[in-house]
Amino acid sequence: MVLGLSGGVACYKSADLCRQLIKAGATVQVVMTEAAEQFITPVTMQALSGRTVYGSQWDAREPNNMPHINLSREADAILIAPCSADFIARLVQGRADELLSLLCLARPVQRVPLLVAPAMNREMWAHPATQRNLAQVAQDGAVVLGVGNGDQACGETGDGRMLEPAELLEEVIAFFAPKVLASRKVLVTAGPTFEAIDPVRGITNLSSGKMGFAIARAAREAGADVTLVAGPVHLPTPRGVRRVDVQSAQDMLVAVEQRAQDASVFIATAAVADWRPAAPSAQKIKKDGSGQTPTLGFVENADILARVAQSARAVDGSLFCVGFAAESHDLLAHATAKRARKGVPLLVGNIGPATFGQDDNALLLVDEKGHRELPRASKRVLAQQLIQDIAARLPPARA
């Protein structure tokens, strides 16, 4: 991959981006404009990339003296990060008076995609000229990755910040991922629920939500329109995923039923509480010194997965339902029984105590034909494998 740096304070982020791209397995060739060298040195980028940095179209190191041809032909993609307002204008005009814009102009358009990560002051970002140029760049075939919102180097606050390196890496990975769920709408639940006993106490479980969030990210990378209904967890929302935060099982039921009407796949990863206090106290329940404990009554929560699986759209095959079972023992027996009881075509089982809060997991996939194991791996890898499996089970997408 060619990582191009144009002039901007956000060049400091490009150093970390380069490191993260290489860690993810990419070979990174850095190309810098003269303006970029005012913010970060080629020496830094060379040390991080492990490759000589290019900056001049007259670079004599190339035997044919044509780095703009050679570098663009060798690349799988060109990522401009940061992409300044000036450089966006250069792309629109097809400028060819320095190496980076010349390289973008000379790239084989059908084979080497161009991704741009804008970075500029909020007023520059909002200016009609910039927005016109961005629209034209996109029309010409580039992928505009958007901007972040927050504090800017000039002291102002607003839109225009370059996305963070981790966000850009996520975008790059999503761009290259096979779109096996293109045109599908996927609804995912994740995390625990919290059932209030009083204003400061409640019943919950140890689910971290990491598996569900990884599945939502993998589904988005596979081209799906993803909605994630999340219980009380502290995880960043995957790029490009629509997030709905809920607390209780009843909240989650309402959120799911509202959105299941439009979904083509429902993946119930959340560890939903089976019961809730029948009469939560409006005030904190206090000890009175008597040694007597309060008596709590419970009622059963609705079975979200079973309710969706029994809906008309699930029954006629318009909605493919996937359940999760977190067990403590006898995983195959419990998962097999749960799949039949819930009436879902696919149930994914795991041992809860061995995975809650962890970054890795092992999954058991159970369907009407039997079962197969996904060996222990990172939840990221398992989520990608699961999405591939689900995609293979779906009927062709309707035109």
- Judge whether residue 277 has pLDDT over 70: yes
pLDDT computed for residue 289 by the predictor = 84
pLDDT computed for residue 327 by the predictor = 83
pLDDT tens per residue, range 41-95: 999 999 999 999 999 998 888 888 899 999 999 999 999 999 999 999 999 999 9
Which residue among 11, 83, 104, 154 is the active-site one? 154
- Judge whether residue 279 has pLDDT over 90: yes
pLDDT tens per residue, range 192-203: 999 999 999 999
**Is residue 154 flagged as an active site residue?**
yes
- Judge whether residue 354 has pLDDT over 60: yes
Residue 229 gets which letter from DSSP? E
pLDDT computed for residue 326 by the predictor = 85
pLDDT computed for residue 352 by the predictor = 79
Q: Output phi, psi for 29, to 5 deg.
A: -110, 115
- The percentage of the chain sitting over the pLDDT mark of 90, rounded to a whole number, equals 89
Domains of the chain: 2-176 (3.40.50.1950), 185-393 (3.40.50.10300)
pLDDT computed for residue 399 by the predictor = 56
pLDDT tens per residue, range 138-164: 999 999 999 999 999 989 999 999 999
pLDDT computed for residue 290 by the predictor = 85
pLDDT tens per residue, range 99-111: 999 999 999 999 9
Average pLDDT for 368-376: 94
For CA atoms 373, 375, 378, 384, give the dihedral sign.
negative
- Judge whether residue 224 has pLDDT over 70: yes
DSSP annotation string for 148-194: EEEE-TTS-EEEEEPPPHHHHHHHHHHHHS--TTTT-EEEEEESB--
- The percentage of the chain sitting over the pLDDT mark of 70, rounded to a whole number, equals 99
Indicate the average pLDDT of the chain: 95
DSSP bridge pairs for 299: 276
List CB contacts of 4: < 8 A, sequence separation 6 or more.
Answer: 30, 31, 32, 33, 78, 79, 80, 81, 83, 100, 103, 104
pLDDT computed for residue 60 by the predictor = 82
pLDDT band (50, 70, 90) for residue 329: confident
In degrees, to the nearest 5, what angle opens at C-alpha 103 toward C-alphas 97 and 106? 100
pLDDT computed for residue 144 by the predictor = 97
Cα separation, 326 vs 335, in Å, equals: 9
